[in-house]
Amino acid sequence: MKTIKELFWIILLLFPITNSYATMVTQIDKRNLNDPVSADKMGTVQFNDDGTKMFLTFHNSSNSGTVAAREDDKINEYTLSVPYDISTATYAGNNERCSVVDPEHSSGNRTTGATLGFHFADNGMKIFTMQRGLNNIKNSFVNRLDLTTAYDISTCTYHSDVNVDTNALQNGTNIGDRSTGNNNNLQGMFITNDGTKMFLTMNERGTGTPQSIKQYSLSTPYDLSTLTLASSTAISLQEHNPFGITFGNSGKRLFVSFKGNDANSFVEQYSLTVAFDISTATSDGQLDLQAIDSDQDDLNDITFNKDGLKMFSVNRNDEIVFEYDLACAFTVIAGKCPSITENKDRTGLAIAQIEIAKRNIDHSTNSALNRLSWIRRNKDKQSLTNLNIDFNFNNQRLASLTEVVRTSAAKKREKDKDENRGVFYWSEGSIAVGKIGDTNTSSTKKIDTDAITFGADKVTNENGIKGWAFRIGRNNVDVGTAGSNLDTDTYNITYYSTSPIENDTKFLDSIIGFGKLNSDLLTVVDGQRLTAQRSGHQIYGTIRIKDEIKKNNLTFIPSGRFDIGHTILGSYNESGSGGIDVENQHIRTKKIRASVTAVEDVLNEKYKLKRNGKIEYIMDLDQSSKFKYTYTGDSSVTFDDSLSSGALHSINGEMGIDVVLQDNFSIFLIYERNQALGSGHTDKIHIAIGYLPNKETNYAFNIQGSDDLRSEYILSKTINDFELDFKIINEDPFDISDIKQAFFNLRKVF
């Protein structure tokens, strides 16, 4: 016998008993919340938008549905210290209740049955309730109550009602007519938030009209007097005793709760091909709640939290509220999880990953092209060292020695002009901010990018230039308003070259680069934080042909450009309930550009200035990317969503200046705006302060030790949502005039 028992436990361990609900629906809690006054039956559960308030309807089973009993029909309010956590529910008090029975009929001329269902609409400013027929009287009503403050039910006042027990509203089958023996009941209701559609569940206890859901239209939103039956869109239900009815946010998921035969309580899920059109509904299957908890033997109503990852149900007789976690939003049936495209924040975060990959290629490529453009604008200076080179001479003796080198080089500049073939070092800092507005599929995205590029190049024997650039960037994207975020570090190395193809005005620029991306992802769904990390690699290339046309002090530079790139983002797994497992993703870049740049030379005794502007047209030939994933709690279905980023057409504009002062200090500024047609925009700023050395002063010295007397002065200030950082570095802390470096950074905060 002992051996048999041991064998039994081994089998259980090796082959565990599975439950189809175990991964899809997990019961978290249940609470008995009896009415503190007199009612003894619970009807419906609802929440406010942020889940900090829970509302329950109560009615009294005594007095056989008399007026006195109906006056006990109330909506009670409970405060939740943790959103959507029923274990933290506290009764708000009798002063926060709402009386459901309207004063117009309290004298007894309308003897209605129990208030079973209610639903908020119009963002918590209106309440719609239903009361089923009683005894032999055809008087099933839908009522409207208005609130002066959203979700403050203590401010509820009666507005209007409609008797739905008419031939016009029932297509000849009166649901409340018990005198015929059919005993039909109105038991559940739902109204869309825009107030244009209403749905009612009908129960038939005898012979005649089957259980059904009927759909109604309101020609004037929320106006019950304009209610009409859409007779062609009724669902006949095969199960007995339908009560609660609700939809997912998208309107493409329908849920009906049943108290079936043999006290079985279950939820049936439907999928709709057209939002809120039940004529397009097909059944996905049923969830037996009593199989999860035997106390769920008198199911009345169900509802979901805002983002569909929690479900709540009500036991009518025992006055119990149940809380469940779901494996995916608005789904209780395995294999029926919805696409993330039904959640705009989730979709926006997935699209943001595509956009960052493409934006990183653009920015890395543009840094190298900016370098080549600056060289051509300043080719008369006999030095290719960029204006924002960072000299860091911490030792005063070396700084003095450098001045001697500069002076000597200046005297020899003309003589050695043709021999200038050294390596030249440069750097570039950039800030990019932008916003892509809300779309049909994606929430608003706010973009913030910072980067610095270091490079080195030299003149070739063919009078061209070749060099390398290394870029480090940080990309931050906020998606929606709930807190979803994508934070990405990027690292790029780029080889660039240019060579003349005709005279000294036509050039061919070419680029090839490699990049690495490391991302931290945060998806906030209903206050729940789903985190993940993702890495990626990319390769890209660019070919640009440009010409220079000089007219007096103006130079026009037309150009054509083709970009190509390929990014592979690795797989990742989100943590928490409702998380997804994402496969490797391939993102391709193919863009065609055409631009015209104008450069103007402005001469002054104190400075040399070059003003430049550019207008560029961009066509994105490959906007979409496949996003493949499964749900962690339900891997039976793999989704393969095609996500589109950016726009087919966009316009890029630039304005900039190069200023070189007499002492060779320079200021370089470019403002760039990319406007996607029909989409969002990105603003980018390149700004630097630096020194233009003569000829071969191409070295930065950094000597650390006891002789290092460098001092720094840093000032940070926020002015009108602009963050300004100012930094000064000098060699002698006792001589403020001996400034060797000055930097400032300007950032717009959105």
Q: Return the CA Rg of the chain.
A: 35
**In sequence order, what are the residues at sequence separation of 6 or more whose Cβ sits closer than 8 angstroms to the Cβ of residue 73?**
39, 57, 58, 59, 60, 99, 100, 101, 114, 115, 131
For residue 134, the 8-state DSSP code is B
Reported confidence tier of residue 254, pLDDT bands at 50, 70, 90: very high
Query: For residue 327, which of 22, 701, 670, 685 has the smallest C-alpha distance?
Result: 22
Element (H, E) at 440: none
Give the pLDDT score at 64: 46
d(CA 278, CA 237): 12
Q: Distances from the Cα of 671 to the Cαs of 133, 136, 366, 523, in angstroms?
A: 70, 78, 13, 32
Give the pLDDT score at 228: 92
How many C-beta atoms lie closer than 10 Å to residue 416's C-beta? 12
Give the pLDDT score at 630: 94
Reported confidence tier of residue 399, pLDDT bands at 50, 70, 90: very low
Q: What is the mean pLDDT of residues 393-397?
A: 43
Using one digit for the tens of pLDDT, what is the confidence trace for 466-494? 999 999 999 999 999 989 999 999 999 99
Q: What is the mean pLDDT of the chain?
A: 78
Reported confidence tier of residue 372, pLDDT bands at 50, 70, 90: confident
Q: What is the mean pLDDT of residues 315-323?
A: 91
d(CA 598, CA 603): 17
d(CA 698, CA 466): 16
Q: What is the mean pLDDT of residues 401-423?
A: 48
Dihedral-angle region of residue 251 (phi above 0 means left; psi in -120 to 50 means alpha; beta otherwise): left
Query: For residue 358, which of 573, 618, 543, 616 has the smallest C-alpha distance?
Result: 618
**Across 16-30, 658-672, 733-747, which has the greatest mean pLDDT?**
658-672
Give the pLDDT score at 740: 47
* Residue 391 pLDDT exceeds 80: no
Give the pLDDT score at 427: 78
Reported confidence tier of residue 727, pLDDT bands at 50, 70, 90: low
Give the pLDDT score at 277: 92
* Residue 719 pLDDT exceeds 70: no
Element (H, E) at 525: strand 506-525
Query: For residue 59, which of 120, 134, 122 has the smallest C-alpha distance?
Result: 134
| Range with the poorest average pLDDT among 266-280, 381-395, 512-526, 665-679 | 381-395
Using one digit for the tens of pLDDT, what is the confidence trace for 43-96? 899 999 889 999 998 887 654 444 444 556 889 999 999 999 999 999 999 999
Q: Distances from the Cα of 318 to the Cαs of 77, 304, 728, in angstroms?
A: 18, 21, 73
Reported confidence tier of residue 578, pLDDT bands at 50, 70, 90: confident
- Within a 13 Å sphere around the CA of 480, how many CA atoms are in the beta-carbon half? 23
* Residue 371 pLDDT exceeds 50: yes
Reported confidence tier of residue 745, pLDDT bands at 50, 70, 90: low
Using one digit for the tens of pLDDT, what is the confidence trace for 588-622? 999 999 999 998 877 666 667 788 899 999 999 98
Give the pLDDT score at 604: 67
* Residue 98 pLDDT exceeds 80: yes
* Residue 703 pLDDT exceeds 50: no
Query: For residue 80, which of 33, 127, 125, 35 has the smallest C-alpha distance?
Result: 33
d(CA 502, CA 507): 7
Output the CA angle 482-717-722, nearest 5 degrees.
Answer: 50
What is the CA 58 to chain-centroid distance, rounded? 38
| Range with the poorest average pLDDT among 110-114, 122-126, 330-334, 580-584 | 110-114
Q: What is the mean pLDDT of residues 661-674?
A: 71
Place of tokens 């080089």: 409
**Across 15-19, 163-167, 745-749, which has the greatest mean pLDDT?**
163-167
* Residue 707 pLDDT exceeds 70: no
**Across 111-115, 173-177, 308-312, 337-341, which has the greatest mean pLDDT?**
308-312
Q: What is the mean pLDDT of residues 21-49?
A: 83
d(CA 38, CA 74): 10
Reported confidence tier of residue 708, pLDDT bands at 50, 70, 90: very low
Which segments of 604-633 are extended strands (E)?
607-620, 624-631
Give the pLDDT score at 419: 46
d(CA 255, CA 449): 44
What is the CA 313 to chain-centroid distance, rounded? 29
